[in-house]
Amino acid sequence: MHGGYSFVKVPNMDNNLSEQPFLSITSGSCSFLEVVDFIVASYSSMPGDNFKVSVGTDSEEINGEVKFVSAIVLWRVGHGARAWRTITWGKGKEYKSGGFHPKRIYQEVILTGTLTVELRSRLKQILGEDISNNIEVHADVGESGRTSVIMREIIGMLLGYGFPLENIKWKPESIAASVVADRYI
């Protein structure tokens, strides 16, 4: 039990994130399509407002397994934000124990990239090109610290998913990964 919600433990990374339950402090448990519907309703009901959508993932080893939390954040600039998160688990031995391991960061980026591609596709079908091209992907890496040595590869991976460089954010701007997802580890 964490933050008032119990979590379903997903045994491996083979599951499609968009098919898993998402949790939100304000709306409780919902499906990926319900998250999309909420984003669409927000844009539709307040078309003149400035919205930002971002997706990010963070992870941590817990009792020999790695917990990956992926977050979708809808920020109505100047008026607050809503966030939804989903959790997947990886076997700790695949990511080694303790310390810094790039494979775990790469997996975070894969989860973020695939979830964002699905979200972008759904939003493009409903809202059109404008919103789908403005979704930010947030990577839990920075220009200083342990992750600086793989930052170029991470940016390259996200560019490979088709995200423009201006939509790729890293620390300290990677709020969806380094703040929201991190909060639920």
Specify if 22 maps to a domain: yes
pLDDT at position 15 over 60: no
Q: Give 95-130 as a DSSP string.
A: S-SSS--HHHHHHHHHHHHHHHHHHHHHHHHHH-HH
pLDDT over threshold 60, residue 12: no
> Do the domain assignments include residue 3?
no
Listed residue (124, 110, 97, 128) closest to 55, CA to CA: 110
Question: How would you write 3-40 as a 3-class SS string?
Answer: CCECCCCCCCCCCCHHHCCEEECCCEEECHHHHHHHHH
Count: domains in the chain: 1
Please give the pLDDT value at position 94. Answer: 77
Query: Is 6 inside any structural domain?
Result: no
Enclosing domain of residue 51 = 17-183
Structure confidence at residue 11 (pLDDT): 42
Angle between helices 151-160 and 102-127 (to 10 degrees): 30
Give the list of residues 6+ apart from residue 122 with CB closer than 8 angstroms, or none: 33, 36
Residue 32 lies in a domain: yes
pTM across the whole model: 0.87
Average pLDDT over residues 72-100: 85
